[in-house]
Chain A
Protein backbone atom coordinates (compact mmCIF):
# COMPACT_ATOMS: atom_id res chain seq x y z
CA UNK A 1 0.00 0.00 0.00
CA UNK A 2 1.49 3.27 -1.02
CA UNK A 3 1.91 6.24 1.34
CA UNK A 4 -0.78 8.12 -0.53
CA UNK A 5 -3.28 5.30 -0.04
CA UNK A 6 -2.43 5.19 3.65
CA UNK A 7 -3.01 8.90 3.98
CA UNK A 8 -6.33 8.56 2.19
CA UNK A 9 -7.35 5.71 4.43
CA UNK A 10 -6.45 7.66 7.55
CA UNK A 11 -8.47 10.68 6.39
CA UNK A 12 -11.40 8.51 5.30
CA UNK A 13 -11.53 6.77 8.66
CA UNK A 14 -11.84 10.10 10.41
CA UNK A 15 -13.90 12.15 7.97
CA UNK A 16 -15.93 9.56 6.07
CA UNK A 17 -14.87 10.85 2.67
CA UNK A 18 -16.08 7.84 0.74
CA UNK A 19 -19.68 9.13 0.24
CA UNK A 20 -18.33 12.40 -1.17
CA UNK A 21 -16.09 10.57 -3.60
CA UNK A 22 -19.01 8.38 -4.52
CA UNK A 23 -21.12 11.48 -5.16
CA UNK A 24 -18.49 13.04 -7.37
CA UNK A 25 -17.98 9.79 -9.24
CA UNK A 26 -21.64 9.59 -10.10
CA UNK A 27 -22.24 13.26 -10.73
CA UNK A 28 -23.30 13.85 -14.30
CA UNK A 29 -24.26 16.86 -16.35
CA UNK A 30 -27.17 16.49 -18.78
CA UNK A 31 -26.55 17.16 -22.44
CA UNK A 32 -28.86 18.84 -24.91
CA UNK A 33 -28.54 21.47 -27.58
CA UNK A 34 -28.43 24.31 -25.00
CA UNK A 35 -26.03 22.71 -22.55
CA UNK A 36 -23.42 25.33 -23.52
CA UNK A 37 -25.29 27.61 -21.13
CA UNK A 38 -24.06 25.53 -18.18
CA UNK A 39 -20.53 26.96 -18.56
CA UNK A 40 -21.27 30.60 -17.75
CA UNK A 41 -21.59 30.07 -14.01
CA UNK A 42 -18.21 28.38 -13.92
CA UNK A 43 -16.69 31.13 -16.05
CA UNK A 44 -18.01 33.73 -13.60
CA UNK A 45 -16.42 31.72 -10.82
CA UNK A 46 -13.13 31.73 -12.69
CA UNK A 47 -13.16 35.51 -13.00
CA UNK A 48 -14.05 35.72 -9.32
CA UNK A 49 -10.95 33.66 -8.45
CA UNK A 50 -8.85 35.93 -10.66
CA UNK A 51 -10.31 38.92 -8.84
CA UNK A 52 -9.51 37.50 -5.44
CA UNK A 53 -5.93 36.65 -6.33
CA UNK A 54 -5.08 39.85 -8.20
CA UNK A 55 -6.93 41.84 -5.53
CA UNK A 56 -4.76 40.33 -2.81
CA UNK A 57 -1.68 41.18 -4.86
CA UNK A 58 -2.77 44.79 -5.30
CA UNK A 59 -3.33 45.03 -1.56
CA UNK A 60 0.40 44.57 -1.04
CA UNK A 61 1.05 48.07 -2.37
CA UNK A 62 -2.24 49.95 -2.40
CA UNK A 63 -2.88 52.73 0.14
CA UNK A 64 -6.47 53.77 0.81
CA UNK A 65 -6.06 57.48 1.55
CA UNK A 66 -6.91 60.48 -0.57
CA UNK A 67 -3.29 61.65 -0.40
CA UNK A 68 -1.65 58.38 -1.38
CA UNK A 69 -4.22 56.30 -3.29
CA UNK A 70 -3.48 57.65 -6.75
CA UNK A 71 0.25 57.69 -6.10
CA UNK A 72 0.22 54.11 -4.87
CA UNK A 73 -1.68 52.91 -7.96
CA UNK A 74 0.75 54.90 -10.08
CA UNK A 75 3.57 53.22 -8.17
CA UNK A 76 2.04 49.81 -8.84
CA UNK A 77 1.66 50.34 -12.58
CA UNK A 78 4.95 52.18 -13.14
CA UNK A 79 7.42 50.74 -10.66
CA UNK A 80 6.36 47.34 -9.38
CA UNK A 81 7.39 44.50 -11.74
CA UNK A 82 4.30 43.37 -13.66
CA UNK A 83 2.22 45.81 -11.63
CA UNK A 84 0.72 47.12 -14.86
CA UNK A 85 -0.36 43.58 -15.71
CA UNK A 86 -1.88 42.76 -12.33
CA UNK A 87 -3.78 46.03 -12.29
CA UNK A 88 -4.95 45.65 -15.87
CA UNK A 89 -6.09 42.09 -15.27
CA UNK A 90 -7.94 43.08 -12.09
CA UNK A 91 -9.81 45.82 -13.95
CA UNK A 92 -10.62 43.73 -17.00
CA UNK A 93 -11.51 40.62 -15.04
CA UNK A 94 -13.96 42.71 -12.99
CA UNK A 95 -15.75 43.70 -16.16
CA UNK A 96 -15.69 40.23 -17.67
CA UNK A 97 -17.01 38.80 -14.41
CA UNK A 98 -20.04 41.06 -14.53
CA UNK A 99 -20.49 40.28 -18.21
CA UNK A 100 -20.39 36.54 -17.69
CA UNK A 101 -22.63 36.85 -14.62
CA UNK A 102 -25.19 38.61 -16.82
CA UNK A 103 -24.85 35.88 -19.44
CA UNK A 104 -25.29 33.25 -16.73
CA UNK A 105 -28.36 35.03 -15.35
CA UNK A 106 -30.11 35.40 -18.69
CA UNK A 107 -29.34 31.84 -19.79
CA UNK A 108 -30.73 30.55 -16.52
CA UNK A 109 -33.73 32.85 -16.91
CA UNK A 110 -34.61 31.73 -20.43
CA UNK A 111 -34.30 28.08 -19.47
CA UNK A 112 -36.72 28.77 -16.64
CA UNK A 113 -34.29 27.24 -14.16
CA UNK A 114 -35.49 29.57 -11.42
CA UNK A 115 -38.72 27.64 -10.91
CA UNK A 116 -39.43 25.34 -8.01
CA UNK A 117 -37.34 23.75 -6.50
CA UNK A 118 -34.56 26.20 -7.43
CA UNK A 119 -35.98 29.46 -6.09
CA UNK A 120 -33.21 29.77 -3.50
CA UNK A 121 -30.54 29.37 -6.16
CA UNK A 122 -32.11 32.18 -8.19
CA UNK A 123 -32.37 34.45 -5.19
CA UNK A 124 -28.82 33.84 -4.01
CA UNK A 125 -27.61 34.38 -7.57
CA UNK A 126 -29.54 37.64 -7.75
CA UNK A 127 -27.88 38.77 -4.52
CA UNK A 128 -24.48 37.74 -5.86
CA UNK A 129 -24.99 39.91 -8.94
CA UNK A 130 -25.88 42.81 -6.66
CA UNK A 131 -22.69 42.19 -4.69
CA UNK A 132 -20.65 42.02 -7.88
CA UNK A 133 -22.02 45.40 -8.92
CA UNK A 134 -21.19 46.67 -5.44
CA UNK A 135 -17.63 45.45 -5.98
CA UNK A 136 -17.51 47.32 -9.27
CA UNK A 137 -18.93 50.52 -7.82
CA UNK A 138 -16.66 50.57 -4.77
CA UNK A 139 -13.58 49.46 -6.67
CA UNK A 140 -14.04 52.13 -9.33
CA UNK A 141 -13.24 54.89 -6.81
CA UNK A 142 -10.13 53.30 -5.34
CA UNK A 143 -7.54 54.59 -7.89
CA UNK A 144 -8.77 58.09 -6.96
CA UNK A 145 -8.56 59.52 -10.44
CA UNK A 146 -10.64 62.34 -11.84
CA UNK A 147 -13.11 60.17 -13.69
CA UNK A 148 -13.76 57.77 -10.83
CA UNK A 149 -14.04 60.60 -8.34
CA UNK A 150 -16.77 62.41 -10.24
CA UNK A 151 -18.54 59.22 -11.28
CA UNK A 152 -18.75 58.29 -7.62
CA UNK A 153 -20.09 61.71 -6.83
CA UNK A 154 -22.87 61.25 -9.38
CA UNK A 155 -23.51 57.65 -8.38
CA UNK A 156 -23.78 58.27 -4.67
CA UNK A 157 -25.90 61.33 -5.31
CA UNK A 158 -28.61 59.07 -6.76
CA UNK A 159 -28.88 57.34 -3.41
CA UNK A 160 -29.94 60.62 -1.83
CA UNK A 161 -33.16 60.45 -3.88
CA UNK A 162 -34.38 57.42 -1.93
CA UNK A 163 -37.42 58.54 0.05
CA UNK A 164 -37.00 58.93 3.82
CA UNK A 165 -33.65 57.16 4.13
CA UNK A 166 -31.89 59.08 1.30
CA UNK A 167 -29.96 61.53 3.45
CA UNK A 168 -28.90 58.79 5.83
CA UNK A 169 -27.80 56.50 3.02
CA UNK A 170 -25.81 59.28 1.38
CA UNK A 171 -23.96 60.00 4.61
CA UNK A 172 -23.44 56.28 5.17
CA UNK A 173 -21.92 55.78 1.71
CA UNK A 174 -19.87 58.96 1.55
CA UNK A 175 -18.82 59.11 5.16
CA UNK A 176 -19.90 62.74 5.14
CA UNK A 177 -21.90 65.02 2.93
CA UNK A 178 -19.28 65.09 0.16
CA UNK A 179 -17.08 62.55 -1.60
CA UNK A 180 -13.79 62.88 0.28
CA UNK A 181 -10.94 60.77 1.61
CA UNK A 182 -13.46 59.45 4.14
CA UNK A 183 -15.48 58.00 1.25
CA UNK A 184 -12.35 56.36 -0.13
CA UNK A 185 -11.61 54.71 3.21
CA UNK A 186 -15.17 53.39 3.41
CA UNK A 187 -15.27 52.14 -0.15
CA UNK A 188 -11.97 50.39 0.45
CA UNK A 189 -13.45 48.70 3.51
CA UNK A 190 -16.52 47.62 1.56
CA UNK A 191 -14.40 46.43 -1.35
CA UNK A 192 -11.87 44.29 0.52
CA UNK A 193 -13.73 43.22 3.66
CA UNK A 194 -17.51 43.52 3.67
CA UNK A 195 -18.29 42.48 0.11
CA UNK A 196 -15.79 39.58 -0.06
CA UNK A 197 -17.19 38.15 3.18
CA UNK A 198 -20.80 38.34 2.03
CA UNK A 199 -19.86 37.05 -1.42
CA UNK A 200 -17.97 34.06 -0.04
CA UNK A 201 -20.91 33.05 2.16
CA UNK A 202 -23.49 33.45 -0.59
CA UNK A 203 -21.29 31.84 -3.19
CA UNK A 204 -20.80 28.80 -0.98
CA UNK A 205 -24.56 28.57 -0.51
CA UNK A 206 -25.22 29.03 -4.23
CA UNK A 207 -22.75 26.30 -5.21
CA UNK A 208 -23.97 23.92 -2.49
CA UNK A 209 -27.53 24.27 -3.83
CA UNK A 210 -26.37 23.39 -7.34
CA UNK A 211 -24.52 20.30 -6.08
CA UNK A 212 -27.56 19.25 -4.07
CA UNK A 213 -30.09 19.72 -6.84
CA UNK A 214 -28.04 19.09 -9.96
CA UNK A 215 -28.36 20.87 -13.28
CA UNK A 216 -31.82 21.86 -14.37
CA UNK A 217 -33.14 20.67 -17.71
CA UNK A 218 -35.93 22.74 -19.25
CA UNK A 219 -39.16 20.86 -19.98
CA UNK A 220 -38.80 21.44 -23.71
CA UNK A 221 -35.41 19.73 -23.73
CA UNK A 222 -36.21 16.86 -21.40
CA UNK A 223 -36.89 14.42 -24.25
CA UNK A 224 -33.63 15.29 -25.92
CA UNK A 225 -31.56 15.00 -22.76
CA UNK A 226 -33.08 11.60 -22.00
CA UNK A 227 -32.10 10.44 -25.46
CA UNK A 228 -28.53 11.72 -25.17
CA UNK A 229 -25.98 10.33 -22.78
CA UNK A 230 -25.14 12.75 -19.95
CA UNK A 231 -21.48 13.49 -19.48
CA UNK A 232 -19.63 12.78 -16.28
CA UNK A 233 -18.77 15.79 -14.16
CA UNK A 234 -15.31 14.42 -13.42
CA UNK A 235 -13.33 14.51 -15.59
CA UNK A 236 -15.31 15.28 -18.76
CA UNK A 237 -17.31 18.34 -17.73
CA UNK A 238 -14.41 19.71 -15.73
CA UNK A 239 -12.12 19.46 -18.72
CA UNK A 240 -14.63 21.23 -20.89
CA UNK A 241 -14.99 23.89 -18.26
CA UNK A 242 -11.17 24.02 -18.30
CA UNK A 243 -11.29 24.96 -21.97
CA UNK A 244 -13.71 27.77 -21.11
CA UNK A 245 -11.49 28.98 -18.29
CA UNK A 246 -8.49 29.01 -20.61
CA UNK A 247 -10.61 31.02 -23.01
CA UNK A 248 -11.32 33.48 -20.17
CA UNK A 249 -7.61 33.68 -19.36
CA UNK A 250 -6.81 34.27 -23.02
CA UNK A 251 -9.42 37.02 -23.16
CA UNK A 252 -7.80 38.70 -20.14
CA UNK A 253 -4.34 38.49 -21.66
CA UNK A 254 -5.59 39.85 -24.97
CA UNK A 255 -7.44 42.74 -23.35
CA UNK A 256 -4.47 43.60 -21.14
CA UNK A 257 -2.29 43.59 -24.25
CA UNK A 258 -4.53 45.65 -26.48
CA UNK A 259 -6.26 47.92 -23.97
CA UNK A 260 -4.03 48.37 -20.92
CA UNK A 261 -6.14 50.04 -18.26
CA UNK A 262 -5.52 53.80 -18.02
CA UNK A 263 -4.20 55.45 -14.93
CA UNK A 264 -5.98 58.73 -15.57
CA UNK A 265 -5.13 61.91 -13.67
CA UNK A 266 -5.30 62.38 -9.95
CA UNK A 267 -8.68 63.50 -8.66
CA UNK A 268 -8.95 67.11 -7.60
CA UNK A 269 -12.01 67.43 -5.34
CA UNK A 270 -12.11 71.18 -5.96
CA UNK A 271 -11.60 70.94 -9.70
CA UNK A 272 -14.50 71.12 -12.09
CA UNK A 273 -16.04 67.91 -13.32
CA UNK A 274 -14.67 66.80 -16.70
CA UNK A 275 -17.10 66.47 -19.59
CA UNK A 276 -18.61 63.10 -20.39
CA UNK A 277 -18.56 61.45 -16.98
CA UNK A 278 -19.86 57.93 -17.26
CA UNK A 279 -20.22 55.15 -14.75
CA UNK A 280 -19.01 51.62 -15.49
CA UNK A 281 -20.76 50.17 -18.51
CA UNK A 282 -23.07 47.88 -16.51
CA UNK A 283 -24.64 50.92 -14.86
CA UNK A 284 -25.01 52.77 -18.15
CA UNK A 285 -28.57 51.66 -18.92
CA UNK A 286 -29.71 53.02 -15.55
CA UNK A 287 -27.62 56.16 -15.91
CA UNK A 288 -28.85 57.01 -19.42
CA UNK A 289 -32.48 56.23 -18.60
CA UNK A 290 -32.41 58.57 -15.61
CA UNK A 291 -30.87 61.28 -17.78
CA UNK A 292 -33.66 60.89 -20.35
CA UNK A 293 -36.42 61.40 -17.81
CA UNK A 294 -37.88 64.91 -17.55
CA UNK A 295 -37.10 66.86 -14.39
CA UNK A 296 -40.63 66.43 -13.11
CA UNK A 297 -43.34 63.88 -13.85
CA UNK A 298 -46.75 64.65 -12.32
CA UNK A 299 -45.02 66.98 -9.87
CA UNK A 300 -42.64 64.30 -8.63
CA UNK A 301 -38.97 64.44 -9.37
CA UNK A 302 -38.27 62.47 -12.55
CA UNK A 303 -35.17 60.80 -11.19
CA UNK A 304 -37.10 59.57 -8.17
CA UNK A 305 -39.71 57.99 -10.42
CA UNK A 306 -36.96 56.42 -12.51
CA UNK A 307 -35.23 54.95 -9.50
CA UNK A 308 -38.59 53.75 -8.18
CA UNK A 309 -39.26 52.04 -11.51
CA UNK A 310 -35.85 50.34 -11.44
CA UNK A 311 -36.47 49.21 -7.88
CA UNK A 312 -39.88 47.81 -8.87
CA UNK A 313 -38.39 46.14 -11.95
CA UNK A 314 -35.65 44.62 -9.85
CA UNK A 315 -38.25 43.33 -7.40
CA UNK A 316 -40.26 41.70 -10.19
CA UNK A 317 -37.07 40.12 -11.54
CA UNK A 318 -36.24 38.89 -8.06
CA UNK A 319 -39.72 37.45 -7.51
CA UNK A 320 -39.96 35.71 -10.89
CA UNK A 321 -39.88 32.22 -9.27
CA UNK A 322 -43.08 33.12 -7.41
CA UNK A 323 -44.78 35.28 -10.05
CA UNK A 324 -44.26 32.83 -12.90
CA UNK A 325 -46.88 30.14 -12.35
CA UNK A 326 -45.85 28.22 -15.44
CA UNK A 327 -48.00 26.72 -18.15
CA UNK A 328 -50.53 23.98 -17.45
CA UNK A 329 -48.71 21.54 -19.66
CA UNK A 330 -45.38 22.13 -17.92
CA UNK A 331 -42.70 24.69 -18.87
CA UNK A 332 -42.47 28.33 -18.05
CA UNK A 333 -45.00 31.07 -18.77
CA UNK A 334 -44.89 32.87 -22.07
CA UNK A 335 -45.32 36.29 -20.43
CA UNK A 336 -42.10 35.99 -18.51
CA UNK A 337 -40.27 34.60 -21.52
CA UNK A 338 -41.21 37.70 -23.51
CA UNK A 339 -40.44 39.93 -20.55
CA UNK A 340 -36.94 38.46 -20.38
CA UNK A 341 -36.28 39.29 -24.02
CA UNK A 342 -37.60 42.81 -23.54
CA UNK A 343 -35.34 43.37 -20.52
CA UNK A 344 -32.34 41.95 -22.39
CA UNK A 345 -33.07 44.08 -25.45
CA UNK A 346 -33.48 47.17 -23.27
CA UNK A 347 -30.22 46.66 -21.36
CA UNK A 348 -28.18 45.74 -24.41
CA UNK A 349 -29.79 48.47 -26.51
CA UNK A 350 -29.22 51.25 -24.01
CA UNK A 351 -25.68 50.16 -23.26
CA UNK A 352 -24.68 50.09 -26.91
CA UNK A 353 -26.55 53.30 -27.68
CA UNK A 354 -24.67 54.98 -24.85
CA UNK A 355 -21.33 53.83 -26.23
CA UNK A 356 -22.40 54.96 -29.69
CA UNK A 357 -23.05 58.42 -28.26
CA UNK A 358 -26.78 58.47 -28.98
CA UNK A 359 -27.55 60.21 -25.68
CA UNK A 360 -25.11 63.10 -26.06
Chain B
Protein backbone atom coordinates (compact mmCIF):
# COMPACT_ATOMS: atom_id res chain seq x y z
CA UNK B 1 0.00 0.00 0.00
CA UNK B 2 1.45 3.36 -0.99
CA UNK B 3 1.86 6.01 1.55
CA UNK B 4 0.70 9.53 0.75
CA UNK B 5 4.22 10.98 0.36
CA UNK B 6 5.16 8.29 -2.15
CA UNK B 7 2.60 9.47 -4.66
CA UNK B 8 4.82 12.21 -6.22
CA UNK B 9 7.69 9.75 -6.48
CA UNK B 10 5.50 7.28 -8.36
CA UNK B 11 4.29 9.95 -10.72
CA UNK B 12 7.89 11.12 -11.19
CA UNK B 13 8.85 7.57 -12.03
CA UNK B 14 6.07 7.16 -14.53
CA UNK B 15 7.00 10.51 -16.07
CA UNK B 16 10.57 9.32 -16.37
CA UNK B 17 9.41 6.10 -17.97
CA UNK B 18 7.27 8.03 -20.40
CA UNK B 19 10.12 10.36 -21.26
CA UNK B 20 12.46 7.43 -21.70
CA UNK B 21 10.05 5.60 -23.95
CA UNK B 22 9.36 8.67 -26.04
CA UNK B 23 12.98 9.67 -26.49
CA UNK B 24 14.07 6.13 -27.26
CA UNK B 25 11.22 5.84 -29.73
CA UNK B 26 12.23 9.13 -31.32
CA UNK B 27 15.82 7.92 -31.55
CA UNK B 28 14.71 4.73 -33.25
CA UNK B 29 12.56 6.72 -35.67
CA UNK B 30 15.46 9.09 -36.33
CA UNK B 31 17.59 6.07 -37.18
CA UNK B 32 14.98 4.19 -39.20
CA UNK B 33 13.52 7.08 -41.18
CA UNK B 34 16.66 7.55 -43.31
CA UNK B 35 16.75 3.79 -43.88
CA UNK B 36 13.21 3.72 -45.23
CA UNK B 37 13.96 6.68 -47.43
CA UNK B 38 17.24 5.16 -48.58
CA UNK B 39 15.84 1.88 -49.82
CA UNK B 40 13.44 3.61 -52.22
CA UNK B 41 15.53 4.66 -55.24
CA UNK B 42 15.44 8.24 -56.52
CA UNK B 43 13.69 9.10 -59.76
CA UNK B 44 16.88 8.50 -61.72
CA UNK B 45 16.89 4.88 -60.69
CA UNK B 46 20.46 4.07 -61.65
CA UNK B 47 23.93 5.40 -61.26
CA UNK B 48 24.61 7.20 -64.53
CA UNK B 49 26.96 4.83 -66.24
CA UNK B 50 27.14 5.21 -69.97
CA UNK B 51 23.66 5.39 -71.42
CA UNK B 52 21.29 8.34 -71.64
CA UNK B 53 18.09 9.28 -73.38
CA UNK B 54 19.26 11.96 -75.79
CA UNK B 55 15.93 13.01 -77.22
CA UNK B 56 12.93 12.11 -79.33
CA UNK B 57 13.31 11.05 -82.93
CA UNK B 58 10.17 12.93 -83.90
CA UNK B 59 11.67 16.16 -82.55
CA UNK B 60 14.85 15.79 -84.59
CA UNK B 61 14.10 16.64 -88.21
CA UNK B 62 16.55 15.87 -91.01
CA UNK B 63 19.54 18.22 -91.17
CA UNK B 64 19.41 19.23 -87.51
CA UNK B 65 21.19 18.58 -84.25
CA UNK B 66 20.52 18.60 -80.51
CA UNK B 67 22.69 18.89 -77.44
CA UNK B 68 22.17 16.41 -74.60
CA UNK B 69 24.17 15.70 -71.44
CA UNK B 70 26.14 12.84 -70.03
CA UNK B 71 26.16 14.15 -66.49
CA UNK B 72 28.00 17.45 -66.83
CA UNK B 73 29.48 16.61 -70.24
CA UNK B 74 27.62 17.68 -73.35
CA UNK B 75 26.96 15.37 -76.27
CA UNK B 76 25.42 16.14 -79.64
CA UNK B 77 22.97 13.98 -81.52
CA UNK B 78 22.57 14.90 -85.17
CA UNK B 79 20.28 13.82 -87.96
CA UNK B 80 22.00 14.04 -91.32
CA UNK B 81 20.26 15.43 -94.39
CA UNK B 82 19.96 11.78 -95.46
CA UNK B 83 18.10 10.99 -92.23
CA UNK B 84 20.78 9.04 -90.33
CA UNK B 85 20.99 9.62 -86.57
CA UNK B 86 24.48 9.89 -85.10
CA UNK B 87 25.85 10.99 -81.77
CA UNK B 88 29.18 12.42 -80.70
CA UNK B 89 30.79 14.11 -77.78
CA UNK B 90 29.95 17.80 -78.11
CA UNK B 91 33.22 18.84 -76.49
CA UNK B 92 35.36 20.46 -79.16
CA UNK B 93 38.77 18.79 -79.26
CA UNK B 94 40.45 22.18 -79.53
CA UNK B 95 39.55 24.10 -76.35
CA UNK B 96 36.53 22.20 -74.97
CA UNK B 97 33.84 24.57 -76.24
CA UNK B 98 30.47 23.01 -76.98
CA UNK B 99 29.96 22.33 -80.68
CA UNK B 100 26.65 22.75 -82.52
CA UNK B 101 25.03 21.58 -85.72
CA UNK B 102 24.95 24.11 -88.56
CA UNK B 103 22.17 23.25 -91.00
CA UNK B 104 23.50 25.78 -93.51
CA UNK B 105 26.98 24.22 -93.57
CA UNK B 106 25.62 20.69 -93.03
CA UNK B 107 28.50 20.30 -90.60
CA UNK B 108 29.14 20.25 -86.90
CA UNK B 109 30.60 23.61 -86.02
CA UNK B 110 32.34 25.18 -83.06
CA UNK B 111 31.55 28.82 -82.47
CA UNK B 112 34.75 29.55 -80.58
CA UNK B 113 37.31 29.23 -83.38
CA UNK B 114 35.27 28.11 -86.36
CA UNK B 115 36.34 24.49 -86.02
CA UNK B 116 34.37 22.20 -88.29
CA UNK B 117 33.63 18.51 -88.15
CA UNK B 118 31.93 16.48 -90.82
CA UNK B 119 28.90 14.29 -90.26
CA UNK B 120 31.15 11.48 -89.06
CA UNK B 121 32.63 13.75 -86.39
CA UNK B 122 35.91 14.06 -88.26
CA UNK B 123 37.75 17.36 -87.94
CA UNK B 124 37.84 18.89 -91.39
CA UNK B 125 38.58 22.55 -90.92
CA UNK B 126 39.94 24.99 -88.36
CA UNK B 127 42.00 24.27 -85.28
CA UNK B 128 40.48 21.04 -83.86
CA UNK B 129 43.28 18.47 -83.74
CA UNK B 130 41.15 15.36 -83.38
CA UNK B 131 37.75 14.02 -84.39
CA UNK B 132 34.86 14.15 -81.94
CA UNK B 133 34.43 10.98 -79.91
CA UNK B 134 31.64 8.97 -81.52
CA UNK B 135 28.87 7.41 -79.42
CA UNK B 136 26.60 4.53 -80.22
CA UNK B 137 22.99 5.33 -81.01
CA UNK B 138 20.07 3.01 -80.35
CA UNK B 139 16.56 3.99 -81.35
CA UNK B 140 13.77 2.45 -79.32
CA UNK B 141 10.41 3.54 -80.65
CA UNK B 142 10.67 7.31 -80.65
CA UNK B 143 13.49 7.47 -78.11
CA UNK B 144 17.08 8.05 -79.05
CA UNK B 145 19.44 6.36 -76.57
CA UNK B 146 23.10 7.16 -76.70
CA UNK B 147 25.75 4.83 -75.29
CA UNK B 148 29.24 5.97 -74.47
CA UNK B 149 32.42 3.93 -74.66
CA UNK B 150 30.90 0.98 -76.49
Contact = CB atoms under 8 A, between A and B. Distances in A.
A155 interface: no
Nearest to B41: A80
Chain B interface residue bracket vs A? 10 to 19
A5 B50 CA distance: 59
B8 interface: no
13 contacts: A53-B35, A67-B50, A68-B47, A71-B48, A72-B47, A74-B47, A75-B46, A79-B44, A82-B35, A82-B38, A86-B34, A86-B38, A249-B31
A46 to B, nearest CB: 12
B4 interface: no
Given A246-B27, A249-B27, A75 B47 contact: yes
A81 B44 contact: no
Interface string A190-231: 000000000000000000000000000000000000000000
Interface of B: 27, 31, 34-35, 37-42, 44, 46-50, 149
A63 B46 CA distance: 10
A67 B51 CA distance: 13
Contact of B47 (A53, A71, A81, A85): A71
Chain A interface residue bracket vs B? 20 to 34
A245 B40 CA distance: 28
Nearest to A250: B27
Contacts of A71: 47-49
Contacts of B149: 67
Nearest to A71: B47
Contact of B38 (A57, A74, A246): A57
Contact of A80 (B42, B49, B50): B42
